[in-house]
Amino acid sequence: MNSNPEHNEKDYIEQKIKENNAQITRLLAENEELLRSAGFDPPAKNYALHENARIKFPSNYIRTKDFFVKKYKLQYFFKNPVVMSNVAYSLQMSDLYNFIVNRFKIFGSINTMVYKAATINCVCIIESLIGQALDDMHAHCKKCPHHDGCEYFFAKSQRFADKLDKIKKFDMLRLTDEEYQQIREAYRLRNHMHIYTAAKENELTSKTFDRDLYNGMISIMQQVTINLYRYMLPAAKRCYKEIREEQY
């Protein structure tokens, strides 16, 4: 008999969740059978209860917009409140995807599609944060008469992939080579989000999008935000070359 109270509590919680999940699965299946027996054919011909009678999403799982604004310091990145709100909403969407991939067993290619949508959402957030920081740096650098000859100057017309290469060259985000590569690879996949390009590269059957990629992008998204705030965002108000000399 295991006398470790923490271990016993963990075993109890795991068993209880398994029992609850089995019951939830049974009840959801029962609802669908009731609809079919009533002549509906969900999802083609469906029936929707009033909002108050629908399955309620667990409270406090999806964190609030204000939580994400503070956690990711979005007010320092985005002067436009609409853009700031949109990024916060995308972060909330990340919580929803997190719930889906950790609570539901989804089969086959649809499982890959869920991971694809979740990963692309992370990439879009990373792109918006880096893009805004670089735009602010660009606006500040343009005021300098020597900006054209400065190696740290980012032209606005550059592709994101080229900007990322330059960020890596000078290690402006202080990430590992593997993390830079993960961003680059996820961004490449994001650019192939259209159905016809996915078909060309066979991304769904090859399971390019999976839990490891998704979890990696969540971790990188958090690290990118911290490092942008520490190392690049100050360059919106000061010369990055001077800041870099002080940092090193």
Output the average pLDDT for the chain: 89
**Residue 147 clears pLDDT 70, i.e. is over it:** yes
pTM, rounded to two decimals: 0.87
35 and 141 together in one domain: no
**Residue 193 clears pLDDT 90, i.e. is over it:** no
Q: Which of 40, 56, 72 is the last residue of a domain?
A: 56
Report how many domains make up the chain.
2
pLDDT on residue 203: 52
8 and 91 together in one domain: no
103 and 34 together in one domain: no
45 and 62 together in one domain: no
Q: What is the DSSP string of 26-56?
A: HHHHHHHHHHHHTT-BTTTB-----GGGSPP
52 and 80 together in one domain: no
Which own/partner contact pairs does 106-112 have at CB distance under 8 Å and 24+ positions apart? 109/204, 109/205, 112/203, 112/204, 112/207, 112/208, 112/209, 112/210
6 and 62 together in one domain: no
Q: Write out the residue range of the structural domain in which residue 19 sits.
A: 1-56
63 and 147 together in one domain: yes
pLDDT greater at residue 207 or residue 73: 73
